[in-house]
């Protein structure tokens, strides 16, 4: 029961992070890895399936607020989604080759990379990124996401901001990509019997509530403090992840 409550709490925090600042989807994965005895494939599969609902909710929220009704944002979203169809299965395949020890090391490295992107991203002048760049970003992020069981926003949002897409448009496009990554990834892990549906519900339901709350935060409040808290948490937990396996 205590473990379920902790997983639910981290699911909520992860959901807030997904739609408020982008990076956030890694938090439920970290919680599943540290708090349960699941194997790496089960951690990734259980975590990634939760992002089907969160991605759909996030996409609907950004349709409502107008970002996904803009032509250029829809274009970026569709390119990211198309690339995810190719990149995600690569990540699922790579996961099958990773031991528990190396999964912890990879997850810890992810935490550090995400923290660095949040801290050091410096947007250039706003402009629409080219097709090749978006496809490359989409495929690379999808492979990484499929490997550890996260959605797209944790990496896609800061990268898109750096290449010139405004923050809210980047958040919106990444939600669409997340649906495809989660859907394709969930099918891949399901085929290998690597989904724990009980834990997916424990994490996923509060995570879904967090997505709605995070969308409201993104439109109403400065997210600097949330970014700082996320960075501190990720940097603090990274060494433990690398040693946990």
At 83 the pLDDT is 96
Q: Is the pLDDT of residue 67 over 90?
A: no
- How far apart, in whole angstroms, are the C-alpha atoms of residue 55 and residue 192? 23
- High-pLDDT (> 90) share of the chain, %: 33
| Mean per-residue pLDDT over the chain, rounded | 84
- Number of domains the chain is built from: 1
Is 220 buried (19+), middle (13-18) or exposed (0-12) by CB count in 10 A? Answer: exposed
Q: What domain range includes position 92?
A: 2-244
- How far apart, in whole angstroms, are the C-alpha atoms of residue 191 and residue 220? 41
Q: DSSP label at 1?
A: -
Q: How many CA atoms lie within 13 A of 41 on its CB side?
A: 17
Is 125 buried (19+), middle (13-18) or exposed (0-12) by CB count in 10 A? Answer: exposed
- How far apart, in whole angstroms, are the C-alpha atoms of residue 85 and residue 101? 28
Q: Express each pLDDT in 134-149 by its tens digit.
A: 999 999 999 988 988 8
Q: Express each pLDDT in 215-244 by its tens digit.
A: 777 666 655 666 676 677 667 767 766 766
At 165 the pLDDT is 84
Torsion of CA 24, 25, 28, 30, to 10 degrees: -80
Q: What residue has token string 């997916």?
A: 200
């Amino acid at each position: 029961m205590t473990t379920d409550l902790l997983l639910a709490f981290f699911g909520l925090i992860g959901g807030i992070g997904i739609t408020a600042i982008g990076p956030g989807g890694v938090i439920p994965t970290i919680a599943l890895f540290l708090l349960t005895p699941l194997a790496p494939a089960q951690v990734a599969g259980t975590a990634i399936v939760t992002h089907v609902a969160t991605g759909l909710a996030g996409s609907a929220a950004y349709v409502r607020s107008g970002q996904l009704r803009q032509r250029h944002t829809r274009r970026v979203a569709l390119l990211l989604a198309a690339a995810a169809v190719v990149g995600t299965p690569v990540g699922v395949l790579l996961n099958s080759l990773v031991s528990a020890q190396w999964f912890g090391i990879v997850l810890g490295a992810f935490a550090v990379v995400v923290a660095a992107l949040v801290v050091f991203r410096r947007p250039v002048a706003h402009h629409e990124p080219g097709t090749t760049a978006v496809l490359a970003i989409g495929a690379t992020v999808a492979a990484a996401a499929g490997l550890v069981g996260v959605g797209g926003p944790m990496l896609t949002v800061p990268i898109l901001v750096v290449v010139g897409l405004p923050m809210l448009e980047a958040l919106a496009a990444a939600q669409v990509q997340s649906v495809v990554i989660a859907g394709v990834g969930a099918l891949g892990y399901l085929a290998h019997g690597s989904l724990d549906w009980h834990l997916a519900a424990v994490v996923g339901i509060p995570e879904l509530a967090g997505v709605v709350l995070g969308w409201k935060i993104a439109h109403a409040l400065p997210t600097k403090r949330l970014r700082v808290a996320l960075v501190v948490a990720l940097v603090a937990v990274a060494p433990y992840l690398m040693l946990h396996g």
